[in-house]
Amino acid sequence: MATFLYKLGRLAFRRRHFVALIWVALLTLAGVGAASAPPAGNSSFSIPGTEAQKAFDLLEQRFPGASADGATARVVFKAPSGEKMTDAGHKATVEKTVDELSDGSEVASVADPYTGNAVSKDGTIAYASVKYDVSGMELEESTKDALEDAAQQARDAGLTVEVGGDALQAVPETGATEVIGIAVAAVVLVITFGSLVAAGLPLLTALIGVGIGVSSITALASALELGSTTSILAMMIGLAVGIDYALFIVSRYRAELAEGREREEAAGRAVGTAGSAVVFAGLTVVIALVGLAVVNIPMLTKMGIAAAGTVAIAVLIALTMIPALLGYAGRRVKPAGAKGKRLGRSRKGEPQPDASQPEQPAGQPKANLGTRWASFVVRRPLAVLLLGVIGLGAAAVPATSLELGLPDDGSQPTSTTQRRAYDLLSDGFGPGFNGPLMVVVDAKGSDAPKDAFSDVAGEIEGLDGVVAVTPPAPNKGGDTATITVIPDSKPSSVQTEDLVHAIRDAGGDIEAKTGAETLVTGSTAMNIDVSEKLNDALVPYLVLVVGLAFLLLIVVFRSILVPLKAALGFLLSVMAALGAVVAVFQWGWLSGLMGVEETGPVMSMMPIFMVGVVFGLAMDYEVFLVTRMREAYVHGEKPNQAVVTGFKHGARVVTAAAVIMMAVFAGFIGSSESMVKMIGFGLAIAVFFDAFVVRMAIVPAVLALLGKKAWWLPKWLDRALPNVDVEGEGLRTGDERGSGPDEDRELVRA
């Protein structure tokens, strides 16, 4: 692989005009496609194989034209202090509002509070339910404006009016902190390279890659039913890895220049060596993201594939456009040796620092920070290993109390009308009113459907945690009915989850007696089923993704223990990151700093999504850092010395890459979408744990303890595996191959 990528890098350097033209043309084509594409349609949330989805599909069959997936709105009215909604003046205002709402072309129905028993017992709060023919994302702006105007007119008449439901659903905003994240990345790049030109290359290529990826997603959003969150997550991940991949190649290019090579040759070698690491690092991220398909939730699958596509574009741009731009930059990108004395870098042929020597020999440049840290770790590996494992274990403790759920209006900021409507309904009708359960009774196989409907309603009324049960509402055929159940607990509570299971258990007994099937659906039941489905899929997903990546890393490192250590280190970092997410979003620690206005269950898809993304990113740092160690070992250095050499060349760049990735992810904490905010924080803290604790401390400590055993591979497996040559051995000249201790080279061959 190194030889192929070496030739590709040199070709891109020579044919830079052609390469740049291709990428600019792709960016233009994607931009035109995004601009001319129709707006994204209904990004329906389906969970195949669950009871809630089965009931939803049954409703569409048995209640045609009912717009089961249509948007809903609850216009909540509250009378001024000391007054009631049943007063003549307030009643007239509400009825006028209902009439205005009924005039909309997309409105399916509007329920009058006074005829639908939608006034609280104390008479202070009432609500009107509005049902639309299309989903919230498909509603025309004029329909949303009419809803807001009707609410405002009622406010002008003296009532407190708030609107809940998904009719006012808006595209999430990321806020100014995203720009701050990119600015931080730019500063880190300038500090790392000491050059505006060199720093600008990774930023430019990353933005082009993200532009192509996000524009392509936008262009296909309507056809593939992609939600707005899909493009945000693709942007988040694509921007982070795009900068990092380009950073590693530019850094290696400058190191090759410092070795005295011509610029075209340096570009080829940079792509052949660092580019090989980029390919395999990108493959691990793609495997982790595409592997989300095993969960069998279409929305999550689409998010993973879209983000994986953006990562693939980032890899291709790093391999082709970076060498092309290096050709344009010419001498403005200086060799790393230009700052050698100040940074402690040594030129080719200078003696390397010995890991066993705390002091550098006289006449040798002062060791850089990475060298000094690695030397310390290999001298005291056990202490560093224990400290790192105990620290991450302590951070992971909150994860033992992890509660999962999906966000509803109760998790919205208090400044939103949806959240205020949620609170008003809770005050007037109880917390369970915001999450009613819909029970669907399929009596097609029953001899007495009406009796079956009554039996189900009566059975549910006798369950604990039920506040109210509406009379069965049969369809025209009389073979199916819906029953609305109001719990006495809020939608995201454990009590509501227990009630859903209790209704389903009772339905099994009723089916045995009457032949009628009872199904529970609705948004609350959907959320519960999603959580359970994600939990059930977590272990198979881990086995698939970690297993495939483990095999891939065996090929890269030609070792058994190094990939095993990489996987175990990942588990430590992801558990610690989940612990931090629980502490902030569930327990409320530092919630004010993070802009979390309402604590509650962690988003259901957070664990499995973090496992996928963090695993891919963790393997990035593993590949970039350990391949330099492997390269040094293959070229003749002793195991501990190879660890120090890997840090000497890679620690500064990996540190910069981690800080950049943290800054990019942290930028999404300012999003108005709770899911994006949580993912941004979770990924940022996971990168911190993995890069600075696992890869910078635990990895060198374990390699120092293992010594030569770290690079052991059975001879039969060594012969069976393809030689991908990530360390670039095939690019070395005869003189380069002749350098280094013969004993160590023979050990590597063995």
Residue 384 has pLDDT above 90, yes or no: yes
Name the more confident of 407 and 572.
572
Q: Are 14 and 288 in contact (CB under 8 A)?
A: no
Q: List, in order of start, the domains of the chain with CATH numbers.
A: 1-36+172-332 (1.20.1640.10), 72-165 (3.30.70.1320), 368-412+529-725 (1.20.1640.10), 434-527 (3.30.70.100)
Task: Give me the phi and psi of 87, to 5 degrees please.
Answer: -60, 145
Predicted confidence band of residue 41 (pLDDT cuts 50, 70, 90): low
pLDDT of residue 349: 40
Q: Are 324 and 251 in contact (CB under 8 A)?
A: no
Predicted confidence band of residue 363 (pLDDT cuts 50, 70, 90): very low
Q: How far apart are CA 500 and CA 439, in angstroms?
A: 10
Q: How far apart are CA 168 and CA 188, in angstroms?
A: 40
Distance (Å) of CA 497 to CA 49, 121, 297, 640: 18, 26, 20, 54
Task: Give me the phi and psi of 347, to 5 degrees please.
Answer: -85, 170
Residue 21 tokens read as: 């033209």
Distance of CA 700 to the CA centre of its chain: 28
The CA-based dihedral angle spanning residues 713, 717, 723, 726, taken in that order and rounded to the nearest 10 degrees: -30
Place of tokens 């936008």: 218
Q: How far apart are CA 693 and CA 390, in angstroms?
A: 11
pLDDT of residue 40: 58
Which residues share a beta bridge with 383?
none
Q: Kindly provide the b/e burial profile for residues 187-197, where b requires at least 16 CB atoms within 10 angstroms of the residue's own CB.
A: ebbeebbbbeb
pLDDT of residue 15: 92
Q: How far apart are CA 31 and CA 213, in angstroms?
A: 10
Residue 746 has pLDDT above 70, yes or no: no
Place of tokens 């405002």: 152
Q: How many residues does the chain have?
A: 750
Average pLDDT over residues 401-415: 75
Q: How far apart are CA 617 and CA 574, in angstroms?
A: 11
Maximum C-alpha span of the chain: 99
Is beta strand 107-111 parallel, antiparallel or unpaired with respect to 480-487?
A: unpaired
Residue 306 has pLDDT above 90, yes or no: no
Residue 739 has pLDDT above 60, yes or no: no
Task: Give me the phi and psi of 484, to 5 degrees please.
Answer: -95, 130
Q: How far apart are CA 376 and CA 393, in angstroms?
A: 23
Rg of the chain over Cα atoms, rounded to whole angstroms, equals: 30
Average pLDDT over residues 713-737: 70
Among 39-53, 224-238, 281-295, 589-603, which range has the highest average pLDDT? 281-295
Q: How far apart are CA 446 and CA 476, in angstroms?
A: 16
Is beta strand 404-405 parallel, antiparallel or unpaired with respect to 160-165?
A: unpaired
Averaged pLDDT of the chain: 82
Residue 26 tokens read as: 């792709």
Q: How far apart are CA 550 and CA 563, in angstroms?
A: 6
Q: How far apart are CA 163 and CA 129, in angstroms?
A: 10
Q: Are 300 and 292 in contact (CB under 8 A)?
A: yes
- Smallest Cα–Cα separation from 647: which of 663, 669, 631, 667? 631
Please tell me what DSSP assigns to residue 301: H
Q: How far apart are CA 704 and CA 93, in angstroms?
A: 77
Is beta strand 473-474 parallel, antiparallel or unpaired with respect to 480-487?
A: antiparallel
Residue 186 has pLDDT above 90, yes or no: no
Q: Which residues contact 155 (CB under 8 A, 6 or more apart)?
A: 161
Residue 741 has pLDDT above 60, yes or no: no
Average pLDDT over residues 655-665: 83
Strand residue runs (E) in 146-209: 160-165
Q: How far apart are CA 134 and CA 102, in angstroms?
A: 15
Residue pLDDT, tens place only, 453-488 = 888 888 888 888 888 888 888 888 888 998 889 898
How many CA atoms, within 13 angstroms, populate the side-chain half-sphere of residue 164?
Answer: 25
Residue pLDDT, tens place only, 191-250 = 877 778 888 888 889 889 989 988 888 888 777 767 666 777 788 788 878 888 888 898
- Smallest Cα–Cα separation from 408: which of 600, 122, 192? 600
Q: Are 399 and 575 in contact (CB under 8 A)?
A: yes
pLDDT of residue 729: 60
Predicted confidence band of residue 697 (pLDDT cuts 50, 70, 90): very high
How many CA atoms, within 13 angstroms, populate the side-chain half-sphere of residue 412?
Answer: 21
The helix (run of H) or strand (run of E) holding residue 730 is none
Q: Are 704 and 383 in contact (CB under 8 A)?
A: no
The CA-based dihedral angle spanning residues 576, 577, 579, 581, taken in that order and rounded to the nearest 10 degrees: 170
Distance (Å) of CA 721 to CA 287, 370, 441, 724, 745: 20, 32, 58, 9, 19
Q: How far apart are CA 199 and CA 190, in angstroms?
A: 5
Q: Are 44 and 225 in contact (CB under 8 A)?
A: yes
How many CA atoms, within 13 angstroms, populate the side-chain half-sphere of residue 644?
Answer: 24
- Smallest Cα–Cα separation from 496: which of 452, 537, 535, 526? 526
pLDDT of residue 39: 62
Q: Mutual orientation of helices 639-666 and 369-379 as an angle, nearest 10°? A: 120
DSSP string, 502-529: HHHHHHHHHHHHH--EEEEESHHHHHHH
Distance (Å) of CA 409 to CA 157, 167, 674: 26, 12, 11
Strand residue runs (E) in 82-124: 107-111
Residue 723 tokens read as: 């030689």
DSSP string, 632-663: HHHTT--HHHHHHHHHHHHHHHHHHHHHHHHH
Name the more confident of 352 and 108.
108
Q: How far apart are CA 239 and CA 182, in angstroms?
A: 9
Q: How far apart are CA 706 and CA 626, in angstroms?
A: 14
Q: How far apart are CA 298 and CA 528, in angstroms?
A: 17
- Smallest Cα–Cα separation from 340: which of 247, 263, 269, 259? 259
- Smallest Cα–Cα separation from 86: which of 55, 63, 114? 114
pLDDT of residue 296: 82
